[in-house]
Amino acid sequence: MTQFVNLTIAGLTIGAVYALVSLGVVVIYRISRVVNLAHGAMGIFTTFVFHYEFNQRLGWPVGVSFVATLAVGAVLGVVVERLFVGPVRPDGILTTLVMTVGVLLILTELTVQFWGPNQPVIASIFPDRTIRLAGTGVTVHQLGTIGCVALLGAGLYLLLNRTRYGRAIEAIAEDPGAARIVGLPVRLITTSVWAIGGATAALAGMLYIHLNTLEQISLTFVLISSLVAAVLGGFNSLLLAVVGSLAVGVAFSLAQGYVSTPGVGDLIVFGTLLAVLLAFRPDQAAALESVSEY
């Protein structure tokens, strides 16, 4: 029973990181109809900035570095949207998707060129302590990761569904031309959403560090797992994205813990993604293929 509880908590924690990535992907998709495959690479790049530049070179406290890294993530989101994604969106969804892959490759290579291929030990933004919960040991980092997802998910839900800003995002997603006619600053709001997405990518990277080894490509594999949850919600539902991410994380953890065959956890995740895609509803598929213009 103790092993099951341990594996479940570990699964919820890694699922929380999946949820952070999935939330960022869904938020960006809701306004621009772009599946940002560079999201994980953005998280890795900003986390290395957090470690090498803010913590080591400048010697800032972890809390200050954390806030600064969120700002760097937001700026990176703006740069990606303005310089790479925005200019090619009129060329269609396939071109835009390929561009995000190009951004992924560029950021991954820049990470290696700037800081080397090393896998550094990066400080956690939470105290390095373990507490007893449900008869097992749980780290503060694990609880903090789950708490961050709860706060971010609730905050994004209220922002997108209970504010004028959220209604503006939905209007732009439905018909950017009409939104522009009624006076909405389409370009500015779109860029601000990419800034939110970039900040969530940075947060995911900083929370991932004490759960798994931080390699230059690691969050890209996390992104693939997160796409399962995003697809479940039709790239539109924040709640389904979070619930699906937690379920994928728990399934992955239990498979790794109870099945000795290597790679079973990954097989479950990728198999689930294929199954969801095969069962994808036609109306959602049509929505995914639509491209709005700024």
144-167 burial: b if 16+ Cβ within 10 Å, else e: bbbebbeebbeebbeebeeeeebe
Query: Is pLDDT above 90 for 151?
Result: yes
Is residue 68 scored above 90 in pLDDT? Answer: yes
pTM: predicted TM-score of the whole model, two decimal places: 0.88
* Contact of 180 with 50, CB cutoff 8 Å: no
Question: Could you give the CA distance from residue 108 to residue 85 in angstroms, rounded to a whole number?
Answer: 17
Quote the mean pLDDT of the chain.
85
The reported pLDDT for the residue numbered 110 is: 94
* Percent helix, percent strand, percent coil in the chain, to nearest 5: 75, 5, 20
Task: State the amino acid at position 255 in one-letter form.
Answer: A
Tell me, what's the pLDDT at 291?
Answer: 44
pLDDT digits (tens, 9 = 90+) for 236-293: 788 888 888 888 888 888 887 887 777 777 777 677 767 766 775 445 544 445 444 4
Tens-place pLDDT, residues 195-250: 999 999 999 999 987 766 677 777 787 887 788 778 777 677 888 888 888 888 88
pLDDT of residue 135: 67
**pLDDT 10s digits, 114-125:** 998 877 788 888
Domains of the chain: 2-117+155-289 (1.10.3470)
Burial per residue of 117-136, b for 16 or more beta-carbon CB atoms within 10 angstroms, e otherwise: eeeeebbbbbeeeeeeeeeb
Residue 273 has what pLDDT? 67
Q: Considering only 76-90, 134-148, 203-217, 269-283, which range has the smallest mean pLDDT?
A: 269-283
* 132-to-136, 137, 139, 140 alpha-carbon distances in Å: 5, 5, 9, 10
55 compared with 6, residue with greater pLDDT? 55
Distance of alpha carbon 157 from the chain centroid: 16
CA angle, 138 then 139 then 143, to 5°: 85
- Contact assessment for residue 31 and residue 190, using Cβ atoms and an 8 Å cutoff: yes
Residues 6 or more apart in contact with residue 120 via CB below 8 angstroms? 51, 52, 214
Cβ-proximal residues to 124 (8 Å cutoff; 6+ apart), any chain: 62, 141, 209, 210
Q: What is the pLDDT of residue 212?
A: 65
Residue 95 has pLDDT above 60, yes or no: yes
Of 33-37, 181-185, 256-260, least confident by mean pLDDT is: 256-260
